[in-house]
Amino acid sequence: MPLVIFCGFPSSGKSSRAAELQQYLFREHPENCVHLISDHTLGVDRNLVFADARQEKEHRAALKAAVQRTIDRHAVVILDSLNYIKGFRYELFCVAKAAQTPSCVVHCDAAETVAAAWNGARAEAERYDDDILHNIVARFETPDGRHRWDSPLFSVHPGDAMQCHLICDALLQRKAPPPNMATQSQPLSSTNFVYELDRVTQGIVACVLDSQKTSVVGDSVHVPSSEEKVELVKTMSMAELRGHRRRFISYTKTHPMDINKIGPAFVQFLNNSIR
């Protein structure tokens, strides 16, 4: 059954809206099991997590793992968190697609002034620090329904009634997306797959290292085996690139892919890892 991804500024009403959708599903679709995953269910201190880039990355990994453990064809999964990075929403879209179930994004679209006012009215233990709130707002990547990972997109503004029936119709009446080459299983024991994984990733690492000699931070690098480019947001050492390569190879063990998608997938992995 579907995955519903809530996103929005801190204190923009996501948890209230997620609970509203959960209650609607309990009432109107009691045949479906509903799982709500949130920062609260994981028991995190959001001010500590979002003040540290490493902890924030680990928190996103924990949210994704919770979705992966829960998602199946017999339950609706509601993910209530900031989910403000488009790369992370893409990863969640891929999780749903691999499970052959639909997904959608619900954007709680509140202005920063409204979110700040609501945040200030919260109990101190539930309140985001002002610096963290403003920092997340500055980095927020607004969902765009033209992108497949943000579609279908439902925007909810403060004071609006949430169209729960439209969200449920778009998901429960919609066919699961067909698996594409990136989400179909590829036997890791295949000698050819292992050879190509090693060859393609080594070639991309070598190309990035060589390109850094003549490129500057901010350039985009053409690499072999992929039409997508590596974004040089910083200079990377050989050890750092090899570390990313090792993690990508480990990633393929739990996210098998078509052999022709290794290059683009590795480039996306690099861009997400070094942003």
CB 15 within 8 A of CB 128: no
User: 3-class DSSP state for residue 87?
Assistant: helix
For 73, other C-beta atoms within 10 Å of its C-beta total 10
Instruction: Calculate ∠ Cα 137-138-140, nearest 5°.
Output: 60
Q: Name every residue whose Cβ is closer than 8 Å to that of residue 58 and which is 6 or more positions away in sequence.
A: none
pLDDT-derived band at 190 (thresholds 50, 70, 90) equals low
User: Mean pLDDT, the chain, as a whole number?
Assistant: 89
pLDDT at 85 over 90: yes
pLDDT at 183 over 70: no
User: 3-class DSSP state for residue 165?
Assistant: helix
Which among 45, 73, 69 has a CA at the least distance from the CA of 59? 45
**Span 111-153, pLDDT tens digits:** 999 999 999 999 998 999 999 999 999 999 999 999 989 999 9
Q: Name every residue whose Cβ is closer than 8 Å to that of residue 200 and which is 6 or more positions away in sequence.
A: 224, 225, 262, 263, 266
DSSP code of 100?
T
pTM for this predicted structure: 0.66
Q: Taking residues 222-231, report their average pLDDT.
A: 92
The domain at 3-172 falls in which architecture? 3-Layer(aba) Sandwich (3.40)
Q: Give the Cα separation of 11 and 128 in Å (integer).
A: 8
**Span 20-45, pLDDT tens digits:** 999 999 999 888 899 999 999 999 99
CB 74 within 8 A of CB 1: yes
The domain segmentation of the chain, as residue ranges, is 3-172, 191-274
pLDDT above 90 coverage of the chain, percent: 65
Q: Give the Cα separation of 192 and 153 in Å (integer).
A: 40
User: 3-class DSSP state for residue 103?
Assistant: strand
DSSP code of 184?
S
